[in-house]
């Protein structure tokens, strides 16, 4: 069907104007990874699990809920009839980071971590014993299923909301990260609150 619109070549001119505008004025959005990093989502399920030795009652719920059987716990009864975990190991190499252990822990003692750089040279070093499982260095808990941490974490930097420049974190200037113990942890969570987290 013949189209009777008069074309003055506006389409091509508009396109050329747009590209030259991008060339001149739009900031570059490349994030130069090892030097620059974006702030991850506050609820990231990163490549590690963070354990809180203070809060853990060695109830082994996490170990039972793990679909892979990655969590290895050996317990001992203390004189005051409480239990303590003598061995607490998680095989990060087999974990699929589903977060079921985190969701199942009745005492908020295990959290998903925020880190995503966990490459190693051998598989054995992916089995992490309890001394190394606690929050330390860049092994910090994320807000996944833990709204009490989520509130303290910096918001995610999203490139679609404008330039990266203001929000990019450089190694010299990392955003404040909450240590596992810094945030006040609600003793007993109401079921309603859990629901809210799921919806949010």
Partner 1 sequence: MDWLHWIIYVVIILAFVLTLVMSFILIERRVVGRFQLRLGPNRVGPQGILQPVADAVKILLKEDIIPSKVDRVVHLLAPIVTFAPAVLIFAVIPFQQAGNGLFFDLKSTASMVDLDVGVLFIFAISSISVVGLVMAGWASNNKYALLGAMRTIAQMVSYEIPMVLAVLGIVLIAGSLSLADIVDKQNIPFILLQPLGFFIYFLGATAEMNRSPFDLLEAESEIVAGVNIEYSGMKFAMFFLGEYAYALAVSTITSVLFLGGAKFPWGLLPQSFIWLLVKILLVFFVILWIRSTLPRVRVDQLMGFAWKFLLPLSLINLFLVAAEGMLPSGFTWPIVALNVTLAVALVVIWANRFYRVGGAKVA
Residues that bind ligand SF4 (CB under 6 A): 56-62, 65-68, 70-71, 73, 90, 95-101, 105, 107, 109-110
Inter-CA distances, 199 with 4, 106, 193, Å = 52, 20, 10
Does 7 engage in binding with partner 1 (CB under 8 A)?
A: yes
Angle at the Cα of 134 from the Cα atoms of 130 and 136, rounded to 5 degrees = 135
- Residue 95 binding: pick among ligand SF4, partner 1, none (C-beta 5-8 Å cut-off by kind): ligand SF4
Does 137 engage in binding with partner 1 (CB under 8 A)?
A: no
Q: Which of residues 22-81 bind partner 1 (CB under 8 A)?
A: 22-23, 26-30, 32
* Tokens read off for 8: 């003055």
* Tokens read off for 175: 């955003």
E-strand stretches of 44-99: 49-51, 71-77, 83-91
Angle at the Cα of 36 from the Cα atoms of 31 and 39, rounded to 5 degrees = 90
Question: CA 157, CA 190: separation in Å to the nearest integer?
Answer: 31
Does 121 engage in binding with partner 1 (CB under 8 A)?
A: no
Q: Helix or strand or coil: residue 112?
A: strand
- Residue 62 binding: pick among ligand SF4, partner 1, none (C-beta 5-8 Å cut-off by kind): ligand SF4
- # of chain residues touching partner 1 (CB under 8 A): 21
Residue nearer to ligand SF4 on the CB measure, 37 or 180: 180
- Residue 59 binding: pick among partner 1, ligand SF4, none (C-beta 5-8 Å cut-off by kind): ligand SF4
Contacting positions for partner 1 (CB under 8 A): 2-4, 6-9, 12, 15-16, 18-20, 22-23, 26-30, 32
């Amino acid at each position: 069907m013949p189209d009777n619109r008069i074309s003055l070549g506006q389409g091509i001119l508009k396109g050329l104007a747009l590209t030259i505008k991008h060339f001149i004025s739009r900031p570059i959005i490349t994030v130069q990874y090892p030097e620059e990093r974006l702030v991850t989502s506050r609820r990231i399920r990163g490549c590690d699990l963070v354990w809180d030795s203070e809060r853990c009652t060695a109830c082994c719920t996490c170990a039972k809920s793990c679909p892979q059987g990655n969590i290895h716990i050996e317990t001992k009864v203390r004189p005051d009839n409480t239990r303590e975990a003598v061995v607490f190991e998680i095989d990060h190499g087999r974990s699929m980071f589903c977060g079921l252990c985190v969701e199942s822990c009745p005492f908020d003692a295990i959290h998903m971590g925020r880190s995503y750089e966990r490459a190693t040279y051998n598989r054995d070093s992916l089995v992490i014993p309890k001394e190394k499982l606690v929050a330390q260095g860049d092994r910090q808990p994320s807000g996944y299923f833990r709204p009490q941490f989520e509130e303290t974490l910096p918001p995610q930097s999203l490139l679609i909301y404008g330039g990266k420049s203001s929000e990019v974190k450089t190694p010299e200037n990392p955003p404040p990260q909450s240590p596992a113990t810094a945030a006040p942890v609600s003793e007993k969570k109401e079921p309603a609150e859990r629901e809210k987290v799921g919806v949010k």
